[in-house]
Structure 1
Amino acid sequence: MPLPLIAPMLATPGTLPPAAQDARWAYETKQDGQRVVVYLAGDGSAGLRARSGEDITAAYPELAALGGALGATPAVLDGEILALDAEGRANFQLLQSRMGLAHAPGRAARQAAKVPVHLVLFDVMHLGRDSLLPWPYARRRARLEELGLAGPFWSTPAAIVGHGRQALAATLEHGMEGLVCKRLDSVYEPGVRSRAWIKIRNMRSEDVIVGGWLPGKGRLSGLPGALLVGQRAAGRLRYVGGVGTGWSEPERALLAELLAAAASEVCPFDPVPRVPGARWVVPRLVGEVRYSTRTRAGMLRQPSWLRLRPDLTPEEAAADIPDDAV
């Protein structure tokens, strides 16, 4: 009996449920990895499909052994593939060296020896001959834990019922990406971005120095489409990324005026970043941005503009880029 193809259920960005409803929700750590649906056919094989539906089985050969974990019982499982750093935390930059190798099994095997992955499982949508999609989350989760899926490259981390505020604080304290809140009575909705699942991303904020910009297109013609920002490292201004979201229309217009007044032919970043179409400015504007994490090269991931900091000079802007990110 062939297994049904099931698109993963998606979470909606939001905030913690009201305190009065806390006991109706479960809380799971939000992982910084690649979402995957796992197909165990019951014949010893394991298939992996990305959120897009692409077959990525060959990219992760170390997960092949999961195929025998349930014996002859077929199953469809939901999870996330992670690459862990030396401190045991998910590191998306490490994972990128493993992604995109589904059609290059030789390279995938070599990379697996260098950067092994770990699969965390958090839901079961089909088991044996039965669809578990109509089951409430609490019942599906209990059934998943009964399966005892723990191995050298996979595990089933626990979910916490209630205590959402404490769970969110713990993810922030330990440098985790965030929290996923799941209503205990929620059914599994394939491919749906549901309010029954809420994701909360732990975002950091820092001061940055504006060193350039990229012109907007279409209705944003003549206005900044993105700001090119940097931070000080070893006495120089290092480029840390482009920020293209977070402004209101009045703020964008104000930035356009300030950027025009600070126009320069000289790039202030050292080294000069490869940003086609960049326009440089004298690095005197300071702003605050929100972001999720840094790459190993010190770049900001998913930066969003918060505000200008006219109260700060570039010399007073936030601390240097961390040494381990330079």
Structure 2
Amino acid sequence: MGLPRIAPMLATAGGLPPVAVEDRWAFEVKQDGQRAMLYLPGNGTIVLRSRSGADISTVYPELAALGSVLGRPAVLDGEIVALDDEGRSDFERLQSRMGLTSAAKAARMAEVVPAHLILFDAVHLDGHRLTGLPYTERRTLLESLGLDGEHWSTPAAVVGHGGQALETTRTAGLEGLVAKRLTSVYEPGVRSRSWIKIRHIRTVDVIVGGWVPGRGRLTGLPGALLVGETHEGGLRYVGNVGTGWSDTERTTLTGLLQVAATDECPFDTTPHVAGARWVLPRLVGEVRYATRTRAGMLRHPSWHRLRPDLAPNDIT
């Protein structure tokens, strides 16, 4: 049976729904991993696709068995994570798995850093498209599949009690929540207000457009990254990020910046930054920040992580 390609629905950053209406929302733990759409034709095989649509099946061989566990044609939505010793998703651990092209190396890494798939939606089942059904019905269908095993699970969602749920994730050291309106349909490829991601810290995905060399022990390494956000027709500069890296991350970024070097500034307006070096706008990163200026510039930004799972057009 042919399965339709379905782009993942995306959440909008925001805060908790008002207490008076929180019983109209379900709350799920926000996972810190790689988004994946699962295509299971019902013949024992499985295809995993990233948010950009790339086939990442080879990268996670331990998830292949799910194809034989579910003997029904389906398209499911979830997040691939690597768990730490406390059972929390750890993106830094997962990064060692992402982007592998060798099946043999992926199999070896699966033994060292096993992946776990968190399932949270069903968008196609038994030849029927489910995107037009409300969240509650899709969730019931997903849970009825009984998909819980060593490398995948279907964690429960909580209806109402958003404040308590958010505090629980904070205490547990988790990233936050995703609030989902109970009546919401699945909107493929849309960043919707029906799904709200609530983080304990403010973060934003940015595109690296340049860098400034460091000094002293950082000579030859980036001292700061110049970052921007896309808008219709261009890339708007939103600030420079000079903190938050480990030595390993700084070294990794150095190699990527050298490969992407260009003589032309990729930003709409060239920022007045002494010693700036420009790069092709293709590296995506996630930045923490305190707040924004009225002009949209990031205040007190710090580097959180590189996002090799995202391309620039994924964050428009």
TM-score, normalized by length of structure 2?
A: 0.68
Alignment of 1:143-292 (within 5 A): 143-203=141-201, 214=224, 225-229=239-243
AA at the equivalent of 1:100: G
- 2:136 match: 138
Indicate yes or no: 2:83 matched with 1:84: yes
> Given that residues 214 and 225 in structure 1 are in contact (C-alpha distance below 8 angstroms), is that contact kept between their aligned partners in structure 2?
no
Name the CA distance, whole Å, in 1 between partners of 2:199 and 2:39.
Answer: 28
The reply on whether 1:120 has 2:118 as its aligned counterpart is yes
Displacement of 1:132 after TM fit?
0.6
Q: Report the counterpart of residue 265 of structure 2 in structure 1.
A: none
CA deviation digits over 1:87-132, x for unaligned, max 9? 111110100000001x311110110011001001000000001111
Letter in 2 for 1:127: L
CA shift digits 1:26-84 (9 cap, x unpaired)? 0000000000001111000011000000000000000010001222x100000000001
Kindly provide the amino acid, as one letter, of the partner of residue 86 in structure 2.
E
Structure 2: give runs of 5+ residues left out of the alignment: 204-213, 216-222, 229-236, 254-271, 278-284, 293-316
Q: Is the 8 A contact 1:10 1:197 kept in 2?
A: yes
Structure label with greater radius of gyration:
1
Indicate yes or no: 2:21 matched with 1:24: no
Conserved? CA contact 1:214–1:224, under 8 Å: no
TM-score between the two structures when normalised by the length of structure 1: 0.66
Hey, what's the Cα distance between the residues in 2 that align with 1:67 and 1:14?
35
Identity %: 58
User: Which residue does 2:108 correspond to in 1?
Assistant: 110
- Give the match for residue 14 of structure 2: 14
Contact kept, 8 Å, 1:215 with 1:224, in 2: the verdict is no
1:230 offset after TM fit, Å?
7.3
4+ residue runs over 4 A deviation: 211-218
Q: Distance in 2 between matches of 1:217 and 1:112?
A: 33
Q: Which amino acid aligns with 2:34?
A: Q
8 Å CA contact 2:224–2:243 kept in 1: the answer is: no
CA contact 1:13–1:200 (8 Å) conserved in 2: yes
Partner Cα distance (2:226, 2:133) in 1: 47
SS in 1 for 2:22: helix
* Secondary structure of the structure 2 residue equivalent to 1:302: strand
**Partners in 1 of 2:38 and 2:19 — Cα distance?**
34
Q: Which residue of 2 aligns with 1:302?
A: 287
Quote the offset at 1:20 in angstroms: 1.1
- CA-atom RMSD in angstroms: 3.2
Give the whole-Å Cα distance in 1 for the aligned partners of 2:124 and 2:225: 49
Question: 2:307 maps to what in 1?
Answer: none
Kindly indicate whether the alpha-carbon contact (under 8 Å) linking 1:118 and 1:154 is maintained by their aligned counterparts in 2. yes
Tell me by how many angstroms 1:225 deviates.
Answer: 4.1
Q: Find out whether 1:42 has 2:42 as its counterpart.
A: yes
